[in-house]
A and B are shown apart, each in its own frame.
Chain A
Amino acid sequence: MSKDDFFIGWAETPEVDRRFMLGAGLSIITGTTAVGIGISARQRPVGSGTWNMGEIREWRGIATSEPYGMIRTLDLDGTERTALLACQGKCGVSAKIGALAGKPVVVKGSLIHRGRHAMIAVVDGLDWIREDPDGSIDGLAFPQPEPIMDVSLNGEIMDSKCWFGAMRPARGKIHKSCASLCIRGGLPPAFYVRDMKDQTALMIMTSGGYGHNKDLLPFVAESVSITGQLQRFGDLFLLDAPVSAITRL
């Protein structure tokens, strides 16, 4: 080995080391990038939800605070539709509806939606909801939950806001902490099921007609089995079951 072959960082780099570094550097960068491409191309589909945060508008309809903050409105597509309500962050707003529950209201916020599932993320501050003096409850009043059948289903408990489009992906263990924070904050929990034919369904979870909250946290974002009653609530499906009816798979 000649004197020049010995690499010393502070001295001039030997030519043989320069050539090796060039080849090795290019190989490492190319290889690492190829691995990255392989990983990125094989990720699971993350869902089609969207949140148009910049499109703040007003929505007219009837508000309710039970089981969760919701508004029944014609402003989504001209038919009677239900949109869940949420704050801009990880919290529900049912406690803030107060005396306006059951009354015509105007709600200001942006739309989060996935398929026919809709949620309005209301603006910060106190003026996100006001009574609508020109509104009417005719045709928009919330119906009573209508029992469909008793069911026993396997699936995953998640928070509705993220699954509707606030986050993508919004399922599984990597999202567990976020989903727990959302449900702890009062956002409506949802039960997501997928059958053998890859058909999916989403139900908003209740217990005895009231909303769940922290009681669900031990089961969030895990595979669970729930035995309860499937109900129709306008254009929503509810799964009414106490936490004692939930079993981890």
Chain B
Amino acid sequence: MSHDYKMVQWNPFKKRFDVWMLSGVALYLVSFITLTYATQPEGNSFTPIQAMIRATGTLAFLMLNFILCIGPLARFSHRFRPFLYNRRHIGVTTFLIALVHGGLVLLWYHGFSETNAFVSLFISNPRYDSISGFPFEVLGFIALIIMFLMAATSHDFWNANLGPGIWKALHMSVYVAYGLLVAHMALGALQFEKRPIFFLVLGTGAGTVILLHLVSSIASLRISDRIGHEGWLRVAEVRELEDKRAKIIRPVDGDAIAVFRDGDRIAAVSNICRHQGGPLGEGKVVDGCITCPWHGFQYRMEDGQSPPPFTEKIATYATRIMNGTVYVNPKPNPPGTPQAPSEVGGSNEQG
């Protein structure tokens, strides 16, 4: 976790994942470029750089679509969590592919002139007052800058030093970048390539991303305040709590709470992982520690602290058991505050 920062925290799984991902990237590029040349009419052919511009541009867009679908998919099925675990690698790779695309565009379309290429990017098409004529390259450039900021700060070092709030907000700007890229394609390539497949790919990609996020958001909406007791919120009957797992409680005010059961112990912590905001309540108690489903960050049940040498802390909450029902106090303790778990059948059980 965070006690030591390396460029990439390699492990065998990540290495295998990257080999597969880079093989897929190579397969796409080779297939795209080969077909680009093979399917042109006799005597027609792309310049190699323009073929590469299209191959990298389309690939970066498709990969970004997949990246944005990983989050919702992982909420629907935990089988997608390995993709979520490696999402950062896919994101950085996507940025590098987009960088090649942008660099080639800058060189090819805006270079070889007395006008500075970056100046040309903004002035060569002055139709900022038109929708169909809008200079779409500018949209792609801004999206690339956002993707650069995200790739550059994707490391845990930045997460720890910027703080989870700023870091999360910065990385949520991927949605701004995605919107810009959809507009970049709609106002650029689709103004020239007007066959249905181009509209289909863009529409299906954007539609899938929007639909998955809508459904995912609806599924996790705060349903209601829970019927409680003296300000405590009802969680569930003790027998309803699965061992090693949690039930997520969403107070009307404040962050969601994950109430875990580990054998006879019941403890509540913030549902938000200190690392990247992963949903701890979808995790599991492993070796006595609450384990985040996203990247495996761990916290002790009794005080919300990561086991040494790690230093992350999350808020804890008081729990109690009355007449076989588990309740949680929705007022959070400061992160890392010791809070004794309730014991099933123990002396602190009331009723």
Contact = CB atoms under 8 A, between A and B. Distances in A.
A62 B20 CA distance: 60
B40 interface: yes
A176 B191 CA distance: 11
A175 B109 CA distance: 7
Interface stretch (A2-10, A98-106, A139-147, A195-203): A2-10
Contacts of B154: none
Interface residues of B, number: 75
A177 B109 contact: yes
A180 B124 contact: yes
Contacts of B234: none
Contacts of B66: 28, 32
Contacts of B27: 29, 33
Nearest to A185: B113
Interface string A150-177: 0000000000000000011101111111
Contacts of B112: 88-90
Contact of B45 (A9, A20, A32, A46): A46
A40 B31 contact: yes
Contact of A47 (B44, B135, B189, B296): B44
Contacts of A181: 109-110, 113, 115, 120, 124
A178 B133 CA distance: 15
Interface in A109-128: none
A90 B113 contact: yes
Interface of B: 9, 11, 13-14, 17, 20, 23-24, 27-28, 31-33, 35-36, 39-41, 43-47, 50, 54-55, 58-59, 62-63, 66, 78-83, 85-86, 108-115, 120-121, 124-127, 133, 135-137, 187-189, 191-193, 195, 197-198, 201, 244, 283-284, 286, 291, 293, 295-296
Interface of A: 3, 6-11, 13, 16-17, 20-21, 24-25, 28-29, 32-33, 35-48, 88-91, 167-169, 171-178, 180-182, 184-185, 217-218, 222
18 contacts: A6-B284, A8-B296, A9-B13, A21-B83, A29-B23, A29-B27, A32-B24, A36-B35, A36-B55, A36-B58, A37-B32, A38-B197, A89-B112, A89-B113, A174-B191, A178-B110, A184-B113, A218-B126
